[in-house]
Amino acid sequence: MNIERLKDFRQAAYELLVRAKDATFELMDAVMTTRNASCLAEFSLSPLFNRQWSSVYEALQDTRPNRKKLMELYQKQLEQQVPATEHILVAIDHTAWGRPDAKTLKDRTHEYQRGTVVGQGYSTIAWIPEAGGSWALPLLHERISSESSPILQAASQLKLVCEQSVNPVLAVLDIVWFKYLRRFAVDHWYRFAKQRLHWTLPNLRTPEQSERWSDLMPLMSWQLWLARDLVAENRLPWQSATIDLTPGRVAQSMLSVLVDIGTPTKPPKSRGKSPGWQTGKVREAAPRYPTVKKRVSRRKKSSRLVV
């Protein structure tokens, strides 16, 4: 992998964040290089985050990642590695971001995955770049609203990817039995996103903030993929050496690469001291929202057999 390719990718991604680009991009770098965190504000302690801790929350409030343009950026990287005549293998799956206690979070639903959990579902369509290993590179990672379903969301995502791709697309479905096992790479990515990229760590107030934060997960994953041949492995004492680095091993060694290539962000500017909460202004409790129960329509059975 060429280091210039990674720098160009980061510059293009920076522009596609649209608003609050600097704080959001530095937040991504902090997440990629932080192994453990107990809350969102802890990412402001990273040497790669040059702003105050409050900018972490402001970034997720203000940023507007252009999801479709980002998908096109990912596909451009894919096209540089796969000849236009070859099929690309994509897998589609969904998972739950459990938020059982978040009564102020709108549009929570009952998600059925290893039991029932109250929260929000997310559907992911990812390119599977290798015949083995744990790499899965999301092209779209989207929330499933209470008005949709995993099947409908997956169909919409697959249609969009097929329309935009110059390669023929082979989707991993039950009927493609000889490729079906490769869908578990998406399960590996879900585990990586939740555990190492801290996807489900923050308790965000609105679905929109959750979606903006979720849009950063594929973007970080693609940066790690492009950097996998650039990093000098920084393994822990109990880890054995390996040639084929996993996403976790790349993230573990990513700090030196980011320091070397720099950042497209601009230095922060002092904005003065905030006036704070206005004296006498009444604080109102945040509105509470009920859990939405999705209804499944079933075909009515006829009581008679018509000949």
Residues 222-278: tens digit of each pLDDT: 999 999 999 988 888 998 888 889 999 999 999 999 999 999 999 998 877 778 888
In a domain, 296, yes or no: no
In a domain, 80, yes or no: yes
- Which three-class secondary structure state does DSSP give residue 91? strand
Position 181 pLDDT exceeds 60: no
pTM value?
0.90
Position 114 pLDDT exceeds 90: no
In a domain, 218, yes or no: yes
In a domain, 302, yes or no: no
In a domain, 159, yes or no: yes
Q: Give strand pairing partners of 141.
A: 124
Least confident interval from 59-73, 174-188, 208-222, 247-261: 174-188
The predicted model gives 47-76 an average pLDDT of 96
In a domain, 268, yes or no: no
What is the secondary structure of 109-154 as a DSSP string? EEEESSSEEEEEEEEEEEE--SSSSS--EEEEEEEE-TTS-HHHHH
Alpha-helix runs per DSSP H in 109-263: 150-164, 184-195, 207-227, 247-252, 254-261
Question: Which amino acid makes up residue 118?
Answer: V
Structural domain harbouring 159? 3-236+244-261
% of the chain residues with pLDDT over 70: 92
In a domain, 294, yes or no: no
What pLDDT does 131 receive? 81
Q: Domain tally for the chain? A: 1
In a domain, 164, yes or no: yes
